[in-house]
Structure 1
Amino acid sequence: MKITIVAGARPNFMKIAPIIDAINFKKNEGIDIDFRLVHTGQHYDKNLSDTFFEELNIPYPDANLNIKSGTQAEQTAGIMIGFEKELNDNPCDLVLVVGDVTSTMACTIVAKKAGIKVAHVEAGIRSGDMNMPEEINRIVTDSLTDYFFTTSEYANENLKNLGVPKNKIYYVGNVMIDTLRKHENRLKQPKVWTSIGLKHKSYFVLTLHRPSNVDETESLKELITKIVTLSNNKPIVFPVHPRTKKMLSDLNLNFDNLHFIEPLGYLEFNFLVKNAFAVLTDSGGITEETTVMHVPCITLRENTERPETCDIGTNYLAGNNPKKLETGFKKLLSNEWPVGEIPKFWDGNTANRIVNHLLEI
């Protein structure tokens, strides 16, 4: 079996790394399975350096389509043209896509038109927010996918409601947690720990990058000011996404306990998260990691495609609603936050389950 695995952005590599490990394990046992890793180049990321791949033991791509930035249509078209040539030059039995970036959708379309089966890892998740490009990517991808690998019962039900046959849905768990579990003992204290004078469970980690939060300077200023006001003067460490940095340059946010820092690598960032009093974020992936690490998390979005992190995990959905934010901080500061549980199959063995199913298929 020859599998073409697609990655379009930095988080995708962290999702496919354990799958590749599992494939290599089977291959070393003499089983007929192999892969080709294709990076579409959808997100040009200077952090996709040698250090990134070496730090997490992620294999380098066999091919890079070098699509880079552009409008949604430009990126989609560029990926489709490049990936069609890739499949023509390097035939395979199956295309495996992960997540919900534009590359996920575009490569799925190309594969299906070429008569190649598609497996989607993280299938079935939905936010219900059609203003998110990712939601459109999810819907289109799952309308064409042949084999659905899911992270939760919610995803299973979403797919069943769409008419997906039960025998095409494989409830395997969360592959991002495989990466976290593999590297949890290697998390690395960043320099800001000592330069700011941070202490265990005594600070907040803040991340913001979604357009709904960062595209309007006044609302961004109001949100950050509200968070600082509610923080009880605990340090707030804010690794600034490049998108957000452009917006912050126009604001005058000078608070003694608010610390803007450069983006961190995986090991350093998750060290901060694991030792934080709480996390404030509009990232979906971080809510998964906080749930597994039992760290309280306030999500600064109106919706989530990962409701299990709210229902049984450590996540609270506040949006940028001042009253909901106040409620969340009140629970935090009065030690009333629920401990939370880890969802089923978020155990570090998801990739093994995926590859076993692929071999059965």
Structure 2
Amino acid sequence: MPQRRIFSVVGARPQFIKAGPVERAFKDHAASRSYIVHTGQHYDANMSEVFFEELQIPQPSFKLNISGGSHGEMTGRMLEALDRLFIDERPDGVLVYGDTNSTLAGALAASKLSIPVFHIEAGLRSFNRAMPEEINRVLTDHVSDLLFCPTAAAVENLVREGVTQGVYAVGDVMQDATQQAAARAETASTVLETLDLVGRPYVLCTIHRAENTNDLDRLRALLDYVRETAAGRLIVFPVHPRTRKICEAAGIGLEGFMPIDPAGYLDLQRLISGCELVCCDSGGLQKEAYFHRRPCVTLRDETEWVETIDAGWNRLWRTPDFVSPRRGITDYGDGHAARRIVEHIDQWFATA
């Protein structure tokens, strides 16, 4: 019997990170074979190629080279290209990650062709429909055949929406990725030495979401807030290309910050492990901070990762203090979420 072909759609930095352990699990444990489809949503070498190299992910089998434009334009172009690809190649299933435009385009293209859809990080909700990512999450979940939830709260969110079939709490593949990369980062990354950060207290900051960067008053307020919160400590700021362009065009200064290019995955792990505090609007970085047991301030008005707040490791920027004593989060699993995912996919095909 020929090996089943799963097309894994990725396009943005967080998806490359999650794909690392999942691709290894497909190679080591699965009866199916994964073929990576890179939409091109993140195309800059620092946002894309470096992750494939450092995470030892197989090079994409298909590159669509689609980036730029509004959310609707980008999603539409991806949907058109993926539709053609899936018609030509007829994969047995399509795997999508997270909540980006690439996620939604992959899920819609597959579901319209009656190709099974498997969603990693299903069930997450911010309950803020003004976020494009929230729309992507909800729509993707409601067309998916298998929904792999990182937490019990994500399962409960799906139940409230009437989604109960094919739902599995498997743990968090970001936990898998961090465990696999942490030891390598300590020996392979020299970022702390290069930036002269060894022994120096610093805060790690990232800001990239449209809700923060498209509103210049809000962006200025966030930067001022991070300066105040850093309390004189150096602020290391890997600057997203779009954020840098907006700051330069608006004349927004970065006094007190150390702006650097977007960091590769191993460098970022080292930066997290060496810092005293993370300030970010990234969903993935909130969890990575926890995995390294570093406190985090989320520069948003809500978070999907409510357990990081409940466990005392995270708080929203408008919240004056951490709400709970710090404790471990068992929901995120034991570092074997990826293996559970490919096992469920194989079992689904065996019984379908």
Flag whether TM exceeds 0.5 (same fold): yes
Return the letter of the residue paired with 1:342: I
Return the letter of the residue paired with 1:9: A
Say how many residue pairs are matched: 341
Find the partner of 1:351 among 305, 313, 338. Answer: 338
- Residues 19-98 of structure 1 mapped to structure 2, 5 A cutoff: 19-26=22-29, 32-47=31-46, 50-98=49-97
| Contact 2:149 2:169 survives alignment (8 Å) | yes
Residue by residue over 1:297-339, the C-alpha shift from the partner in whole angstroms, topping out at 9 and shown as x without a partner, is: 0111101111111112511122xx3xx3xx33xx7xxxx9843
Residues in 2 aligned to 1:222 and 1:70: alpha-carbon distance in whole angstroms: 26
| Contact 2:222 2:299 survives alignment (8 Å) | no
| Contact 1:221 1:253 survives alignment (8 Å) | no
Residues in 1 aligned to 2:96 and 2:194: alpha-carbon distance in whole angstroms: 40
Higher mean C-alpha deviation, range 36-45 or range 286-295 = 36-45
Pairing 1:309–2:312 present: no
Residues in 2 aligned to 1:194 and 1:283: alpha-carbon distance in whole angstroms: 25
Pairing 1:7–2:3 present: no
Pairing 1:108–2:95 present: no
Find the partner of 1:181 among 171, 179, 184. Answer: 179
Residues in 2 aligned to 1:174 and 1:274: alpha-carbon distance in whole angstroms: 19
SS at match of 2:330: coil
Return the letter of the residue paired with 2:206: T
What TM-score comes out, normalization by structure 1 length? 0.88
| Contact 2:79 2:109 survives alignment (8 Å) | yes
Residues in 2 aligned to 1:50 and 1:44: alpha-carbon distance in whole angstroms: 8
| Contact 1:189 1:272 survives alignment (8 Å) | no
Aligned twin of 1:340: 327
| Contact 1:292 1:342 survives alignment (8 Å) | no
| Contact 1:291 1:313 survives alignment (8 Å) | no
CA, structure 1 residues 49+217, in 2 after alignment: closer, same or farther (shift >3 Å)?
A: closer
Return the letter of the residue paired with 1:343: T
Gaps of 5+ in 2: none
- Residues 268-279 of structure 1 mapped to structure 2, 5 A cutoff: 268-279=267-278
SS at match of 1:5: strand
Residue by residue over 1:77-132, the C-alpha shift from the partner in whole angstroms, topping out at 9 and shown as x without a partner, is: 21111111211221222111111111211121111111111111101101011111
Return the letter of the residue paired with 2:182: E
CA, structure 1 residues 164+226, in 2 after alignment: closer, same or farther (shift >3 Å)?
A: closer
Aligned twin of 2:199: 199
How large is the RMSD of aligned CA atoms in angstroms? 2.1
Residue by residue over 1:113-154, the C-alpha shift from the partner in whole angstroms, topping out at 9 and shown as x without a partner, is: 111111111011010111111111111111111111000111
Residues in 2 aligned to 1:33 and 1:263: alpha-carbon distance in whole angstroms: 34
